[in-house]
Structure 1
Amino acid sequence: MMRIAILCSGGDAPGMNACLRAVVRTASTMGVEVVGVRHGYQGLLDGDFYESGDGTGVMSARSVSHIIQHGGTILRTGRCDEFRTASGVRKAADTLVANNIDGLVVIGGDGSLRGAIELGKVWSGRIVGCPGTIDNDLAGTDYTIGFLTAVATAVEAIDKLRDTAESHERLFLVEVMGRGSGYLALFTALASGAEFACIPETPTHSAQMVSDISVLKKRGKASIIVVVAEGDDDGGIEVLRGELEAEGCPYPLRSVKLGHVQRGGSPTPADRILASEAGDLAARALIDGKSGVMAGRLAGQMQLTPFAEAIAGTKTVPLEQIQLLKRMSV
């Protein structure tokens, strides 16, 4: 019988459980065993398998019942410094061989897929990835698993902040995650009715911002929301706040970091469906002999994208949405 392993790696993202569920159930219907690996790549190094009760780590269809609606991951996740070394990768490969694993599904983001590439160089088994990250920075899929839920979480928080901002006639700087990608900040800004989004892909000019903010003040704007990606080129939310104050911002300023709250919570229906489709395709692809590819949905169609293309860094925020935000902020 074919045996495949599955793990979640890197930062958690809402929908990882839904993806895990799909892999296990699709593989089970095709007569393939799925072994759960706990704590990401660290679990491969430690031989830390899912607690199945019989010591095998095998996950049944029933073991993933009623997890589709839960955030986080029942397999746990994490980052592993040892796996970044050649000896660590070799050790992970040895664990897979020792446990008669034929294929591996990796649910994670950019770093997780890079790790999969390195593992594929020393292990003869097949590896397929699923895009689990709230950053939405992987090519080969319109959205990554967890992204839309993270947007919804951030928007809900900003809706509440807007009430306070309006009551006190303030400007709120709201920092969201996204060290190298502005997708989360831009989509959050659009959906929450924010006036500005500061993202890594475009330069942030505080003097021009204050000029634009002053125009909005004269037009009768009672409050301003600025969504800032944590990787914004200007240096972060506190740096930007200081610059805006120095330039004479006409509103009292407050800053809020949403932080890790964006990773948690029940996944939205859209994320549950995407995760289920990606997990299903990943399992079928492995069983069909595919390897070195990521399952994603592009232009409405499920497809497989080579790892190298998925992490190539070619996915850029859409210019038309940047322009849309400008037109809405009047």
Structure 2
Amino acid sequence: MGRNYYVFSSGRIRRRENSILIEYQDRDGKQQKRFIPVENVDQIFFLGEVDLNSKFLDFAAKNNIVLHFFNYYGYYTGSFYPREKFLSGELLVRQVEHYLDNEKRLSLARKFVEGAIHNFKRNIEKRGFDIVSKISEYQERIKHVATIPELMSCEAHARKLYYSTWEDITDWPFEERSMQPPLNELNALISFGNSLTYSVVLKELYHTHLNPTVSYLHEPGTKRFSLALDISEIFKPIFVDRIIFKLINLGKIKRENHFLQESNGVFLNDEGRRIFVEEFENMLQQTVLHRKLKRKVKYQSFIRLEAYKIIKHLLGEDEYKPFKVWW
């Protein structure tokens, strides 16, 4: 597995022999060049405006490099997803069958919500919040829902209870979840972190035989890889929420220093994004002893392992059990 690279500065990116050349201006306005050996690259996140051409995209595709693009405000705008190298007609048929069969679809969708609720409940249960028991009630209700909308309603109510603890955890105002645009600093952090997580999940799916457009919790649609949205629900409490708590409580992110107050919302500024990305990447590379494999596994690797479990479920080899954090 290669490295993740994050490009914050605006500039130009192109191929130079068997390397990636990034030309940009540093903070002092000086022109800089950076070479990255292509065999060392897994995915690149562009958080600044970049110029590139079809020759570079062809080079990236041949080397199975996924590119993710974000706009000036840190909004995820899209990914360059090379032509799929892992194709399985049988698995695609099984994916579609599980979507078309209401019972099978609901079973998988329920697992995604089950994992998500467990993981965000895990984030607060050691803090002594009484509200954990109320969240557990919704966790129990999802076992009995009959439709996807009912399931999503349970998840939404449980998440709202979860978010109600954030002001106590961070001592920052939150009020409620707002996305397009985020209306305060906590919402800006959540939106940016969720976009990064979605991007990483999408890249991990690219390295499996799963089709990322066939999903179960989120309705499949055009212009999005909705299976990545499904799986992201499980990992956002770990990859995003825990980072937010850490950065705020350690004073690394400050409301007065790291945000842009715009007429259309609140967004992380460049320095804020750098701080978040550094912590995000550090977390992805951390390892924990896997209970079943009996070896240390990177946080990022849990995503692909999750995809493999879904594949086994679709093929009828093993029932899917969602990832539930135990630490």
Normalising by structure 1, what TM-score?
A: 0.26
Greater relative contact order: 1 or 2 (C-alpha under 8 angstroms, separation 6 or more)? 1
